[in-house]
Amino acid sequence: MKTSWSKRLFVASDILIAIYLLLAFVSFDKKGDPKALCSKVNIDIADNAAGGFLDAKVIKERLQKTGFYPIGRQLKDVDTRGIEEMLRRSPFVKTAECYKTEGGYVYISVTQRMPVIRIKADNGDDYYIDNKGVAMMPENYTADVAVATGRISKRYAAKNLVHLARYLHTNDFANDLVEQINVAPDGRVALIPRIGCQVIQMGKLDSLTLRTQMQNLRVFYDKVLPTVGWNTYREISLEFNNQIVCKKN
């Protein structure tokens, strides 16, 4: 008798578990309804205020143009991997992630490559480079960064100019001061400031001495030029160790 009741209890418990699993599956299926439509797209651009080319509007337009915009589509038809791969093909996109959530939401998170300098070389090359030295074509976008002109190969820009560009991009004084960089045929670099009529000669760029050169220049602009006059000198040379040599107008 005890064995019979044990079997009945065992069978009853199996039935209850089966019912529970069925209800859980149905409940989950309703939450993840494959016919549910995408009702909202959230686009997050990292460092959006730091001078990059991308914003949510640009990403939305690119999604619409390529047929990937998810609003109004069934969630099961939203190709998250396709969206990521399409966005990563942009020269301005560093990383892209896309995922779906309950409630019909699609989230897109993008980190962008930040331009630090624009190259307009004598050979006709015109592009931006980011802080890693990666080239980016302008594509009708503009960024408020210094422009480098002269004899500039892509290798020179990625290996040499990027160090100067990174310094300008992270130092407020240098960034506000320098408007243009010119590379002479012999490799010597000159800076053209936004104010004053002088040319700042850097010599051949050396990442090891760059910071010291720019710190000396800061002291010169803070303490010397306000005293002698902003247009006293036509050339300021930082080529020599720990000294500044000037030529008067």
Determine the average pLDDT of the residues in 72-96.
92
Does 227 score more than 70 pLDDT? Answer: yes
Does 171 score more than 70 pLDDT? Answer: yes
Sign of torsion, CA 84 107 113 94? negative
pLDDT at 17: 54
Average pLDDT, the chain: 84
Question: Under DSSP, is residue 99 helix (H, G, I), strand (E, B) or coil?
Answer: strand
Of 103, 104, 114, the residue nearest 45 (C-alpha): 114
What are 239's two structure tokens?
A: 């080529």
CA distance 192 to 179: 6
pLDDT at 195: 82
Does 34 score more than 80 pLDDT? Answer: no
Higher-confidence position of 192 and 49:
192
Region for residue 247 given its phi and psi (left: phi exceeds 0; alpha: psi -120 to 50; beta: otherwise): beta
Tell me which of 50-54, 85-89, 107-111 is least confident: 50-54
Determine the average pLDDT of the residues in 162-188.
93
Higher-confidence position of 42 and 19:
42
Higher-confidence position of 103 and 87:
87
What are 93's two structure tokens?
A: 């996109």
Q: pLDDT per residue over 60-70, tens digit each?
A: 999 999 999 99
Determine the average pLDDT of the residues in 208-234.
90
Determine the average pLDDT of the residues in 31-49.
78
Give the chain's radius of gyration (CA, Å). 30
pLDDT at 104: 85
Quickly state the pLDDT bin for 24 (edges 50, 70, 90): very low
Of 136, 146, 204, the residue nearest 177 (C-alpha): 146
Does 23 score more than 90 pLDDT? Answer: no
The strand pairing partners of 43, in sequence order, are: 108
Q: pLDDT per residue over 116-139, tens digit each?
A: 999 999 999 999 999 888 898 877
Cα–Cα distances (Å) from 116 to 7, 146, 164, in that order, read 76, 8, 9
